[in-house]
């Protein structure tokens, strides 16, 4: 099922690839051969959330198909600003759990460190689409404050690099950050939440893999992939490089109407992820963020879908169906 898309990006470094990303709805439609008249699009400015689609991801879209599941994840549509659109700007109430800028401390023993303020792709359903990242951007002064907080909280055993996308940080800066964290004795594990290895797999450099492999931490990398069409040969190669360094690879998926709310699609996704060494971890229900209501599907349908997955797949390939409820001690397990 992994498509052999063009290897045209192989010779380019990831920063150059990122610079060529598409940042406009009309340009995106043109690139995938979909007539403007077939979809009711808006600009990123109108949506209050920029359009951003890196070319290796766009290359996996089906040319001429206005219903392509990758296209619909990144194209700004009129539905985002429909007058009856529901949702809030901070559905997980993360501001409540920010003891110092750059840190989100919601759960016992683990914290999020908001390492980067932007992403390599803007997913239209993102629960952080209204975040004012400028407030939390990790300046050297804020990093010092965050590190002081981490040193003072001795029950923290795991740091999760999040964002934005933490892998937008250069290898050198990431290595320095990991070294700072390694110097805090009570931290044992490092987790990285990232969509970059899926949308620009060239981000997985030899230097990055070696640094993570040499860390004193047990390192887990959690990618975010929603559809089997997001996987191609290059993503598989990136995962193999990480795997070779002993890094645990997991995937989280957001359940999205008209994108992946289909048992056969999710079954294929689990099987294909496992082939490249990635275990399905979470299947998230959509967070009620303003501008993304058109991706929501009823909870009953989600449960039924999950039951079908359980019937078709071995247990280790069935991701946990979860929701996030602000103030909960953990994610809420639905199945
Ligand atoms: S990569 Fe993650 S954080 Fe960034 S826009 Fe997509 S869902 Fe949001």
- In the block, tokens 């050297």 appear at 140
Residue 195 alpha carbon to ligand 1 centre in Å: 7
Say how far apart CA 257 and CA 241 lie, in whole Å.
33
Residue 6 alpha carbon to ligand 1 centre in Å: 25
Say how far apart CA 89 and CA 131 lie, in whole Å.
8
Ligand 1 binding pocket mutation candidate from 119, 127, 200, 255 (most atoms within 8 A of CB): 119
- In the block, tokens 């602000």 appear at 326
Cα 275 to its chain centre, rounded Å, is 20
Pick the CATH number of 98-333 from 3.20.20.70, 3.90.700.10, 3.90.230.10, 3.40.50.2300: 3.20.20.70
- In the block, tokens 């599907």 appear at 297
- Give just the sign of the alpha carbon dihedral 260, 261, 264, 267: positive
Say how far apart CA 204 and CA 44 lie, in whole Å.
28
Say how far apart CA 76 and CA 42 lie, in whole Å.
6
Give nearest CA residue, ligand 1 atom 7.
Answer: 126
Say how far apart CA 173 and CA 187 lie, in whole Å.
19
Pocket of ligand 1 (CB under 6 A): 119, 121-123, 126, 128, 165, 195, 224
Residue 224 backbone phi and psi in degrees, to 5? -130, 105
Domain boundaries defined on the chain: 14-81, 98-333
Residue 156 alpha carbon to ligand 1 centre in Å: 25
Q: What is the residue-level pLDDT of the chain in tens, covering all 335 positions?
A: 444 444 566 567 999 999 999 999 999 999 999 999 999 999 999 999 999 999 999 999 999 999 999 999 999 999 999 877 778 887 777 778 899 989 999 999 999 999 998 999 999 999 989 887 666 678 899 999 999 999 999 999 999 999 889 999 999 999 999 999 999 999 999 999 999 999 999 999 999 999 999 999 999 999 999 999 999 999 999 999 999 999 999 999 999 999 999 999 999 999 999 999 999 999 999 999 999 999 999 999 999 999 999 999 999 999 999 998 877 777 888 87
At 69, list the tokens: 């599941």
| DSSP three-state, residue 306 | helix
Ligand 1 binding pocket mutation candidate from 94, 128, 130, 291 (most atoms within 8 A of CB): 128
At 8, list the tokens: 């045209």
| DSSP three-state, residue 199 | helix
Give nearest CA residue, ligand 1 atom 6.
Answer: 123
């Amino acid at each position: 099922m992994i498509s052999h898309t063009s290897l045209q990006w192989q010779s380019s470094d990831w920063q150059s690839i990122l610079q060529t990303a598409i940042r406009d709805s009309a340009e995106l439609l043109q690139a995938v051969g979909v007539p403007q008249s077939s979809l009711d699009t808006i600009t990123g400015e109108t949506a209050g959330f920029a359009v951003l689609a890196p070319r290796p991801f766009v290359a996996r879209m089906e040319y001429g198909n206005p219903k392509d599941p990758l296209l619909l994840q990144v194209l700004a549509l009129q539905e985002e600003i429909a007058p009856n659109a529901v949702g809030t700007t901070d559905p997980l109430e993360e501001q409540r759990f920010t003891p110092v800028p750059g840190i989100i401390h919601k759960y016992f023993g683990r914290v999020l460190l908001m390492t980067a303020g932007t992403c390599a792709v803007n997913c239209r359903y993102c629960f952080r689409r209204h975040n004012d990242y400028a407030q939390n951007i990790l300046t050297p002064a804020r990093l010092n404050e965050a590190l002081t907080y981490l040193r003072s909280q001795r029950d923290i055993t795991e740091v999760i690099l999040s964002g934005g996308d933490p892998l937008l940080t250069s290898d050198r800066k990431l290595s320095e950050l990991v070294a700072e964290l390694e110097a805090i004795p009570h931290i044992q594990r490092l987790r990285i939440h990232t969509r970059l290895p899926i949308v620009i797999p060239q981000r997985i450099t030899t230097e990055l893999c070696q640094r993570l492999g040499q860390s004193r931490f047990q390192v887990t990398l959690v990618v975010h992939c929603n559809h089997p069409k997001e996987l191609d040969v290059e993503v598989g190669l990136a995962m193999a490089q990480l795997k070779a360094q002993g890094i645990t690879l997991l995937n989280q998926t957001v359940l999205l109407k008209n994108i992946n709310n289909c048992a056969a699609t999710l079954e294929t996704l689990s099987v294909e992820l496992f082939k490249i060494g990635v275990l399905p971890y979470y299947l998230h229900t959509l967070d009620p963020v303003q501008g993304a209501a058109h991706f929501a599907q009823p909870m009953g349908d989600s449960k039924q879908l999950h039951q079908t997955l359980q019937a078709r797949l071995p247990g280790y390939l069935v991701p946990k169906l979860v929701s996030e409820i602000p103030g909960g001690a953990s994610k809420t397990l639905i199945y």
